[in-house]
Amino acid sequence: MTRADFSGRTALITGGTRGIGAGIAQELVGRGANVVVTARKPDELDEIVRRLDPDGTGRAVAVRGSADDEAHQAEAVAVAVERFGRLDHLVANAAVNPQYGPLVDADLSAVRKVFEVNVTSVIAWVQQAWRQSMQEHGGSILAVASVGGLRAGSPIGAYNASKAAVIHLVRQLSGELGPGVRVNAIAPAVVKTKFATALYEGREEEVASAYPLKRLGVPEDTAKAGVFLLSDDASWITGATLVVDGGVTATG
């Protein structure tokens, strides 16, 4: 099967320096796209640009800032449009999880931060992409949700509730932005990233035993699924959330 070609297209990936975001950026560059990656840490941004564009062709650009900062959101989208002419694909990947334990005991400032970054900023990034490029040129948007948004019971309740909100946002936005812009999500289970380390470190085999495929995910698994939804191969798919979970939600 021929891989979808992204030559001449531009994607912006929030939280794109490591894990799922970096995996998606790498997959897009490998298929010909120009990419703009955002994150907070300058050293990580420098490193991902070197990885994505080792020859210094200018196809990978970094913009530093916090995902929930309005000025940063506007600047990053503007950089994509000014540098490459338009923004074709937005990947809303940046997320935080400062809350752990029962919600009844949660620090509400931590809960507010989760929703500000994981939910409100997704809307803000979409607004900027729409206003600065996609309203005129069209495009596709991918949000990174989680299987935690599909079921309850985890000690990261605020994070999971935020991802449930993201899944609903995808449905809402697909109706508002169609037909010119498609909006979809992926919902991964545990993927072996620095962000998810606390969920499997020191007991990976035990955690993976609950999965029918008997392994945890890796960024390449989510990257290929996400890039499919961004591509023209998914041209009749919008408002959908693709579960990428090694089968764990199918069996309990």
Distance CA 102, CA 153 (A): 10
Place of tokens 């698994």: 221
Q: 156 phi and psi, to 5 degrees?
A: -105, 60
Amino acid at residue number 166: V
- Which residues lie closer than 8 Å to 195 by C-beta, 6 or more apart? 18, 19, 95, 97
CA 236 to chain centre: 20
- Which residues lie closer than 8 Å to 166 by C-beta, 6 or more apart? 92, 118, 119, 122, 143, 144, 145, 149, 185
Count of H-run helices and E-run strands, the chain = 9, 7
Active site residue 159: yes
Query: Of these residues, 100, 159, 200, 211, which one is catalytic?
Result: 159
Q: Would you name the residues annotated as active-site residues?
A: 159
